[in-house]
Amino acid sequence: MVFSNKALSISPSSTLAIDAKAKKMRSEGIDIIGFGAGEPDFDTPDHIKKAAIDAINAGFTKYTPASGTLELKQAICNKFKNDNGLDYKPSNIVISNGAKHSLVNAFQAICNPGDEVIIPTPAWVSYPEMVKITDGVPVYINCSEEEGFKFTLDKLEKAITDKTRAIVINSPSNPTGMIYSEEELRAIADLAVSKGIYVVSDEIYEKLVYDGYKHVSIASFNDKIKDLTIVVNGVSKSYSMTGWRIGYTASNEQIAKIMGNVQSHATSNPNSIAQKAALAALEGPQEIISEMAVEFVKRRDYMVERINSINGISCIKPNGAFYVMMNISKLVGKEIDGIKISGSDSFADALLEKANVALVPGSGFGTDIHVRLSYATSMENIVEGLNRIEKFLSK
């Protein structure tokens, strides 16, 4: 049998793979503590659910324009104005089936075969695969823990070639939780403008920032960088709406039109009912965001302190999102409970098998000496999970 070479080159998502394995073990009656989730454990607020129910009852269950409804696009424009100081029109906005879909649209709109897209690592597992799907070539900048998991301008300049089409910025970051400062973003913006390079700015975690940090959109500095930036966002993380699948982009009108055309053939419109729910999220009460942030800070602080108290592992404190990158470099090469730890994959497998704890190996993110833990789970689970990790490492 013959299959698509491009499709065969795409790796499965390691974050979803570990979650599936943990769910299978749970279905077999095994008590698993999961740190793999990339979604808030809070319920979607009632007023958002009610808007969806009202939409169904009103018969709002048909096709909408392929790139989304005008009323939701206008609400997104208002959000950009109020939150980010960005002026967009509905013609700049494309609403998609989740931010993942938005990102694929973005790369499809700007990449030709062989074009290079710079991705700082550790990076979310899907970025490289998305670039490959669109015939682009991912180029990696390794960002060390000592650098706060952020690249320097010097590293960025060295990564740029005559084939560079775009750079991906994810701030706050999955998987590291790091945030680029306004000063750092301005320097990146100036370089992108001078080279004529697009910026794909994934800002899906923008509301989940802590310790007095402020999210700044790179597109907000001036018209030149705004014209080169595709801002990606959505309602999944901020409003605990991961399963509703509504993401969106803001870009110049030409790129927006291309993305809309592509989407019209790939999927047509995003779910009509979920669009009404997203409208309610953006225009309704915003308390859920601050409530989640307060709880996430408590969980993060406990997790960071506890990890750094256990022999053999460590981490730095993230300032956004809901992930911790745990350093396991001191464990590599050692044998624990009869299992040789050769890197993040073997550590994650051993922990799941021996301690019934699921976390995500760093290999999929571009670092084999780290694993990712999500604190988007209850404090009770965090305490028990870390107890199990400490017990496992003491064997």
Note the pLDDT tens digit of each residue in 125-151. 999 999 999 999 999 999 999 999 999
Distances in Å between the Cα of 331 and the Cα atoms of 143, 148, 341, 359 are: 21, 21, 7, 16
Architecture of domain 5-43+287-394: Alpha-Beta Complex (3.90)
Residue pLDDT, tens place only, 26-78: 999 999 999 988 899 999 999 999 999 999 999 999 999 999 999 999 999 99
Q: What is the percentage of the chain residues whose pLDDT exceeds 70?
A: 99
CA distance 121 to 155: 12
Mean pLDDT within 329-346: 95
Which residue in this structure is represented by tokens 């704890």?
357
Residue 285 has pLDDT above 70, yes or no: yes
- pLDDT at position 12, please? 79
Distances in Å between the Cα of 271 and the Cα atoms of 17, 57, 250 are: 26, 15, 19
CA distance 171 to 202: 7
Residue spans per domain, the chain: 5-43+287-394, 60-284
pLDDT band for position 359 (cuts 50, 70, 90): very high
CATH 3.40.1410.10 corresponds to the domain 60-284: no
**Which stretch of 16-20, 64-68, 330-334, 391-395 has the lowest confidence by average pLDDT?**
16-20
Question: Of 369, 364, 371, 327, which is closest to residue 119 (Cα–Cα)?
Answer: 364
- pLDDT at position 15, please? 66
Token reading at 314: 């460590």
| Strand bridging mode 116-121 / 323-327 | unpaired
* Average model confidence (pLDDT) across the chain: 96
Structural contact between residues 67 and 260, judged by C-beta atoms closer than 8 angstroms = yes
Residue pLDDT, tens place only, 312-333: 999 999 999 999 999 999 999 9
Mean pLDDT within 86-94: 98
- pLDDT at position 355, please? 96
